[in-house]
Structure 1
């Protein structure tokens, strides 16, 4: 086996303490997207909204009746320029794949997992936690769900602001807009879900604790 072939094989399979292999990155993008999509199903089953670009897509979906998956994919397009310029090609490609897969799964998963009579508080707790677990998987492999997540990671890398706290501020802004399409109780439960999601990320994602690329 030539040296070039050996290096390619090692890059595909081998990992070190500070660098993931391509296989590890691929499984993280797939697993993270699956977890986020399941969290979206739980949140929507309770009639809840969520922050970030996912929340923006929900709001546009409720207002226009257009496909959530399509709106989520399109809403992320402007942020790829920031990702490419500030966070690199690898981050941008992995994020694009995660957004595309989440868009497809979020569109079709509700037809495969039908939830009825989901308590909004339970939806907020378990949905927020599931979305956070998916986002942590993506963050730890230098990927995100695009949109505000890109800005949150950039702010953490550039200014040391915790990604979870930055994301929480963005999410609260989106949820304020939700008062135009939901009842106060649903808004409160949606805020609870956003708090759970972002506090889990803030506690568990730190660049000085987890440094693999």
Structure 2
């Protein structure tokens, strides 16, 4: 009987909650799309905001692989995720970040993306990353980043999360001038706008309540 209940917990879902199997599928699918988005952005020599932007900066400034850089820069943010959003969200996010890091290191050996126009790469890469985040958000996960820290600081000190996020992304943008041209940075900003448009238009909790 207990075994049946255990199996039911893995595969059963409701209109308001995903099953463990559905969460696993969502995290894997989101990580795969994120990997492809990163590959397209990298093929265009582009950057982006958040911890992914920091990882790109480290990749362009050093010989460090993006996957490893992305995993490392996200490590400090798990504490804030646990304090603000709970253990379940933190664990799912850790898995999503780790899987995305591994995929971005391994998949280029099997899928090759050639020379890419920066603006086109920004648009297509932005859509892919935005779709990846959309899937992960709907399964109570994320790809880490400044948003978690911004929410924590808002709770802890009353600082507006939006302003904190803007300030941190602005710092990444300023650092970008050391490794990229103004045109590449402009295209990168366009890609970031696309990512946020995908999320803003498609991610509404009153339309999609399952978590």
The match for 1:133 among 131, 134, 156 is 131
Match of 1:15 in 2: 13
Q: Normalising to structure 1: TM-score of the pair?
A: 0.88
CA distance in 1, matches of 2:71, 2:147: 14
CA distance in 2, matches of 1:81, 1:95: 12
Single out whichever of 112-121 and 168-177 deviates more from structure 2. Answer: 168-177
Match of 1:57 in 2: 55
Match of 1:40 in 2: 38
The match for 1:117 among 92, 110, 115 is 115
Task: Tell me the SS of whatever aligns to 1:142.
Answer: coil
CA distance in 1, matches of 2:205, 2:154: 8
Match of 2:195 in 1: 197
Query: Which structure 1 residue ranges, 5 or more long, are not aligned?
Result: none
CA distance in 1, matches of 2:154, 2:108: 34
Query: Which structure 2 residue ranges, 5 or more long, are not aligned?
Result: none
The match for 2:106 among 105, 108, 113 is 108
Q: Normalising to structure 2: TM-score of the pair?
A: 0.89
Shift, 1:50, TM fit: 1.3
Shift, 1:66, TM fit: 1.6
Match of 1:186 in 2: 184
Shift, 1:162, TM fit: 9.6
Structure 2 counterparts to residues 145-184 of structure 1, below 5 A: 145-151=143-149, 170-184=168-182
Shift, 1:178, TM fit: 0.6
Number of residue pairs matched?
209
Shift, 1:149, TM fit: 4.1
Q: Deviations over 1:137-195 (max 9, x none)?
A: 00010000012243467699999x999x9867654442232111101111110110011
The match for 1:76 among 68, 71, 74 is 74
The root-mean-square deviation of aligned C-alpha atoms, in Å, is 2.5
> Could you say if the C-alpha distance between residues 172 and 207 of structure 1 is closer, same or farther in structure 2, counting changes exceeding 3 Å?
farther
CA distance in 1, matches of 2:35, 2:173: 19
CA distance in 1, matches of 2:204, 2:137: 10
